[in-house]
Amino acid sequence: MAQRPLDILNESLNKPVLVKLKDGRAFRGELQGYDIHMNLVIDKTEEIAEGAVARKVGVVIVRGDNVVYISP
């Protein structure tokens, strides 16, 4: 049976994910939590720019309506 998007997020908890935002920024870190609106809590977060780590951010809360994609 095909997995639903929230099932995939549930399997990605406490694992590294890559999140791309509408404004073009990308973040990589460990997914700590999410809700049905795809609001995300990411720990050990790094901002990615031009394929390299631009800066280390720490804990980030991302509002779901800014998310373009989440890659496990």
Q: Write out the chain's pLDDT in tens, 72 residues.
A: 567 888 889 999 999 999 999 999 999 999 999 999 999 999 999 999 988 989 999 999 999 999 999 998
* CATH, domain 5-71, list 3.30.470.10, 2.30.30.100, 1.10.150.120, 2.30.180.10: 2.30.30.100
Q: Which residues contact 51 (CB under 8 A, 6 or more apart)?
A: none
Question: How far, in Å, CA of 32 to CA of 51, rounded?
Answer: 23
